[in-house]
Amino acid sequence: MTFTQMLAAASQARQSLLCVGLDPDPARFPAGMTPAAESFFDFCAAIVDATADVAAAFKPQIAYFAAHGAERQLQRLIAHVRQAAPGVPVILDAKRGDIGATARQYAREAFERYGADAVTLSPFMGFDSIEPYLDYADKGLFLLCRTSNPGGDDLQALPLALPGQPRLFEHLAQLAQGPWNVNGQLGLVVGATRAHEVARVREMAPALPLLIPGVGAQGGDAAATVRAGWRPGGPVVINSSRAILYASSDANFADAARAAALATRAQLQAALPAGAVL
């Protein structure tokens, strides 16, 4: 099963467009949980267990683990997802971007060391910066395309000296939909805080999976995001991290996370067109 097939199957089985982001910040762990490395697994595993039947994907952010020496806990967590939520893909949010032998090592890190099903990549060094990842034919690659941070305008929105003067992010979407997508493994990352640009990326890349962060604590409009990005044959998975992870700072944090995830899933589902089939 390819990553795209895996994502589609998980989304259909759970009737969900929701990706639960796993960004463990020890400063926000619930009362009584220590900031020790072992707590990174305990906290995130409890979130996974609470949302295993709600999430269509999980997205651990590698920096939150590596900064605290918790890489082994990340490995354990991904293995735990396999048991607690079989069939639900894990997207490793790493935003790697390099070439040659270094890119091959990053690919090995994501897919062999951690066992992720997909990884986020920065494609701004060109096709050869993603090429080594394509050797893992059943894995998914989400390329940063139109991000929601204010600095995204510095480069992504610049027009190019090409026919029609597409903006950089539009040209990247065309490349990912077309000549770069040699094995059908590519998807795009588009921020939810710019729904009109989500729609533009979908226009340029009608069939690619879109990973859309920014719903929840970052203020993205869930309904507008679904309307802009979802199309039959053009899957979306919409990430919420902090609004779910830190729904409560008390011992009931996992129950509160589940309630937040259920509410977000319902919001996303309600925005689908009448009769839409996941």
Q: Would you say residue 132 lies in a domain?
A: yes
Domain of 86, CATH number, reads: 3.20.20.70
Residue among 264, 265, 246, 268 at smallest CA distance from 256: 246
Residue range 38-65, pLDDT digits in tens: 999 999 999 999 999 999 999 999 999 9
Residue among 269, 268, 257, 266 at smallest CA distance from 23: 257
Q: Would you say residue 33 lies in a domain?
A: yes
Judge whether residue 215 has pLDDT over 80. no
Q: Would you say residue 276 lies in a domain?
A: no
Q: How far apart are CA 66 and CA 71, in angstroms?
A: 5
Sign of CA dihedral 6, 141, 51, 230: negative
Q: Would you say residue 48 lies in a domain?
A: yes
Judge whether residue 80 has pLDDT over 70. yes
Q: How far apart are CA 17 and CA 73, in angstroms?
A: 26
The model's pTM is 0.96
Any idea which residues carry the catalytic annotation? 95
Number of domains forming the structure of the chain: 1
Q: Would you say residue 275 lies in a domain?
A: no
Q: Would you say residue 278 lies in a domain?
A: no
- Host domain of residue 50: 3-270
User: What pLDDT, on a 0 to 100 scale, did the predictor assign at position 217?
Assistant: 57
Model confidence at 150, pLDDT cuts 50, 70, 90, reads confident
Model confidence at 219, pLDDT cuts 50, 70, 90, reads low
Category of 58 on φ-ψ map: left (φ > 0), alpha (ψ -120 to 50) or beta: beta
Q: How far apart are CA 15 and CA 19, in angstroms?
A: 12
Q: Would you say residue 26 lies in a domain?
A: yes
Q: Considering just the CA atoms, what is the radius of gyration of the chain in Å? A: 18
Q: Would you say residue 124 lies in a domain?
A: yes
